Amino acid sequence: MPNPATAATPAAPATPAPAAGASRFAELPASAAHDALRIEYRWLNEPAAQRADDTPLALFLHEGLGSVSMWRDWPQRLCERLGLRGLVYSRPGYGLSTPRAPHVKWPVDFMTEQARDILPALLDALGIDARQRRRMWVIGHSDGGSIALLYAALYPEALAGAVVMAPHVFVEDLSVASIAQTKQLYETTDLRDKLARHHADVDSAFYGWNDIWLNPAFRQWRIVDTLASIRQPLLAIQGHDDNYGTMAQIDTIAARVPHAQLVKLAACGHSPHRDAPAPLDDAIAAFIAAQR
């Protein structure tokens, strides 16, 4: 989910700019699951993208209105602390990736499609093989956290573990109310201009996300039963002041995934990496170090 207050911060550049390195593009050929796609991505701590590297990989999955540039420098800083190489990318419809056509509506199971089809296709295109995937840490925020959970459940042997920040596993009234408010802000304030700094087609990004979350059919969306398939280490993080979700989200994860570890952050809203970076980074560092 977006953080309107953060999105409105004037420190962002006029156009999407890399926090480290430059954006590149992966071409995903059309398949039975998706049309041909052009995906924006960046390597972090990667001396040569095409070179096999024994350093484990951290893969970052952005929020509902995120993109490569919306992460700013947090993935880079976390990778440096953890001694990992990193990969950030913009999902279709976001950043500089293939935009959503105006008439296209995301389906109710769009996050499952991202985890099941798009992410593995991107990993294939970038030459990230099975050995590297088994050592890959998947780190997701908000919708990206849900996609990380789905990937961990669908491909339980194709990752080292997952970290999810403010994930959604079912739809809460609080989420829908906040998303409706964000739509009003987008259409009546300068939020659209602020988000346009991070998306080549800002309406593609915003309405793709907003329309599906406000679709009455989406109220029935839930991935709770899928979680039991998660086998690898899992850390779930939630802020006490999140206006897009409650502690019920990660408590539900713990009920379905007994080995999951939970972190509940005080004085933290929906974006832990912006609201509480120090305790967040400490929690992630301790969690990953314990698995090595």
Say yes or no to pLDDT of 14 above 90.
no
Give the pLDDT band of residue 232 (cuts 50, 70, 90). very high
Domain limits for position 169: 4-291
- Helix 74-82 × helix 277-291 angle, to 10°: 40
Give the pLDDT band of residue 1 (cuts 50, 70, 90). low
Distances (CA, A) of 16 to 19, 99, 191: 9, 15, 16
- What would the pLDDT profile of 79-97 be if each residue is shown by its tens digit? 999 999 999 999 999 999 9
Q: What is the pLDDT of residue 205?
A: 97
Let me know: does 161 contact 137? Beta carbons within 8 Å. Answer: yes
Residue 232 burial (10 A CB sphere; 0-12, 13-18, 19+)? buried
Cα 52 from Cα 219, distance rounded (Å): 43
Average pLDDT on 99-118 reads 96
Cα 206 from Cα 223, distance rounded (Å): 23
Q: What is the pLDDT of residue 7?
A: 45
Q: What is the pLDDT of residue 277?
A: 98
Cα 274 from Cα 122, distance rounded (Å): 27
Say yes or no to pLDDT of 231 above 70.
yes
- Sign (positive/negative) of CA torsion 244, 108, 223, 219? positive
- What would the pLDDT profile of 235-252 be if each residue is shown by its tens digit? 999 999 999 999 999 999
Q: What is the pLDDT of residue 104?
A: 93
| Two structure tokens written together for 160 | 């080292």
The more confidently predicted of residues 20 and 35 is 35
Q: What is the pLDDT of residue 20?
A: 43
| 36 contact partners, CB below 8 Å, separation of at least 6 | 27, 28, 29, 30, 98
Domain count across the chain: 1
Say yes or no to pLDDT of 6 above 50.
no
% of the chain exceeding 90 in pLDDT: 86
Cα 224 from Cα 228, distance rounded (Å): 8
CATH assignment at residue 172: 3.40.50.1820
Give the pLDDT band of residue 34 (cuts 50, 70, 90). confident
Say yes or no to pLDDT of 17 above 80.
no
Q: What is the mean pLDDT of the chain?
A: 92
Average pLDDT on 52-66 reads 91
Taken as a whole, the chain contains a residue count of: 292
Shortest CA distance to 67 belongs to which of 23, 102, 122? 23
Average pLDDT on 184-196 reads 98
| Two structure tokens written together for 276 | 């509480």
Vertex 98 angle, CA 80 and 122, to 5°:
50
What global pTM score does this model have? 0.92
Q: What is the pLDDT of residue 9?
A: 36
Give the pLDDT band of residue 15 (cuts 50, 70, 90). very low
Cα 102 from Cα 204, distance rounded (Å): 7
Q: What is the pLDDT of residue 47?
A: 60
Shortest CA distance to 115 belongs to which of 227, 3, 202, 25? 227
Average pLDDT on 52-60 reads 86
